Amino acid sequence: MTKTHKITVMPGDGIGPEVTAEAIKVIEATGLSFEYLECSVGGEEYLRSGTALPDEAIETVNDSEVVLFGAVGHESVPDYITREVLILLRMEKDTYANVRPLKKYHIGKTENEYASKDIDIVIVRDNAEGFSLTHEGRLENSIGTDQRIITNFGAKRIIRHAFKYAEENHRKKVTCVDQHNWLYSDKLFRKNFLEVSRNISSIESKGLPVDVVAMMISRSPEDFDVIVTPNLYGDILTGIVLSKIGGVGMAPTACIGNNFAYFEPVHGTAWDIAGKRTANPIASILSAGLMLRWLGEEKEAWYVKTAVKELLAEGKVLTPDLGGCSSTSDLGNAVARRVLEMETERRELEDQLIDLNEGTIYAQRESIHTYKRFDVIRS
């Protein structure tokens, strides 16, 4: 029997609902079974009900293993109010590993047209420590203060997460980015990096200061593989890489804890384009693909990633930020259609193989073998 995945959906504010709707369209096309629990949270919800995070939403999140998130924030609502939603998802649910795959998709070009310069960086950013959401700073008279905390426990677990990610995804190199020359919290981060990496010989490791990496990554982003870093540097480096991969509409995020994870686009509410049907849904669609992978649905996660790659290479359905004039839902529909075609294609091949099986047991064994091989090739 097919498993039904229960997913909490929090579209939130601004373009959050528009892009999340497209992500759901795409995962529906995989043919997997989902049950959605939709929660209204954020600035609009605050203006409606007086709270950005209603009790039902807290209960739903506490009963969930996975959340598909849009964005929260509203110009008429102070940030500290909408931040409650992020404090729940990040701090209370302890989703310490913020994994950001930043890949350059070739738009309107095939991969072969770009020989070597491929950008495929994964930033593993600490979501729990550094300038954390719960260590809020202060502004008193003419003095602004922020508190930055890094602990052995927090540093070690995010660094271990980065190496585990690198191992599981056949990555070759992990770079630790910090400012250990003069910040004490970063000295601790680097010390932990050296301790963890000392025991891992299969992956190259290196520590570099953030100012040097900012220069190197702007010049040759293709030289970087996995980066592990405290949260603020992770944000800044993400911004630099985004400028080289087609902008903020292209980057997905997985925020992973021990028994809970949430998935969101790197971009925020982008109110300036909300309701205009021009938002690029790719970041949200790719985030949903990361969610499928986290749920163990490897094949379907592969469909999503590959459908996006093929469509962008075709270059016919593109939102304005990518140089096209298609709408948010045109692009979402096109990705969903491609995912559906892939699944249909696979099923047809499976049926042909079952037909073949009507011969001898030997033939059946052969075709099962072929089918398995087919799956391996596709994933």
User: b or e along 4-31 (b: 16 or more beta carbons within 10 Å of the residue's beta carbon)?
Assistant: ebebbbbbbbbbbbbbbbbbbbbbebbe
CA–CA dist 84, 12 (Å, integer) = 12
Which residue among 140, 272, 361, 362 contacts ligand ATP (CB under 6 A)? Answer: 272
Which residue among 52, 226, 279, 291 contacts ligand ATP (CB under 6 A)? Answer: 279
Give the nearest distance from C-beta 107 to ligand ATP in angstroms: 14
Give the nearest distance from C-beta 218 to ligand ATP in angstroms: 19
What phi, psi does 252 have (nearest 5°)?
-90, 170
Which residue among 61, 68, 241, 248 contacts ligand ATP (CB under 6 A)? Answer: 248
**Cβ atoms of residues 189 and 128 within 8 Å:** no
268 binds ligand ATP (CB under 6 A): yes
308 binds ligand ATP (CB under 6 A): no
249 binds ligand ATP (CB under 6 A): yes
**Cβ atoms of residues 8 and 260 within 8 Å:** no
Q: Interface with ligand ATP by CB under 6 A: which range of 26-34, 61-69, 149-157, 261-269? A: 261-269
Which residue among 270, 286, 291, 336 contacts ligand ATP (CB under 6 A)? Answer: 270
x/- mask, ligand ATP, residues 51-70, rule CB under 6 A, reads --------------------
Nearest residue to ligand ATP, by Cβ distance, number only:
268
267 binds ligand ATP (CB under 6 A): yes
Nearer to ligand ATP (CB atom), residue 209 or residue 268: 268
CA–CA dist 370, 372 (Å, integer) = 5
CA–CA dist 31, 35 (Å, integer) = 13
CA–CA dist 184, 228 (Å, integer) = 17
Helix runs in the chain, H state only: 16-29, 43-49, 55-62, 79-86, 152-168, 184-198, 210-219, 231-245, 282-294, 298-314, 328-356, 361-378
Q: Is 77 helix (H, G, I), strand (E, B) or coil?
A: strand
Nearer to ligand ATP (CB atom), residue 207 or residue 252: 252
Give the nearest distance from C-beta 245 to ligand ATP in angstroms: 13
Task: Determine the straight-line distance between the first and last CA of the chain, rounded to whole angstroms.
Answer: 22
Q: Interface with ligand ATP by CB under 6 A: which range of 155-163, 195-203, 272-280, 339-347? A: 272-280
280 binds ligand ATP (CB under 6 A): yes
71 binds ligand ATP (CB under 6 A): yes
**Cβ atoms of residues 253 and 265 within 8 Å:** yes
How many residues bind ligand ATP (CB under 6 A)? The answer is 17
Pair of tokens at residue 71: 């964005």
Give the nearest distance from C-beta 323 to ligand ATP in angstroms: 12
Q: Shortest CA distance to 90 belongs to which of 279, 347, 263, 326?
A: 263
Which residue among 65, 321, 341, 350 contacts ligand ATP (CB under 6 A)? Answer: 321
Residues at the site binding ligand ATP, with contacts judged by CB under 6 A: 15, 19, 71, 73, 248-249, 267-273, 279-280, 283, 321
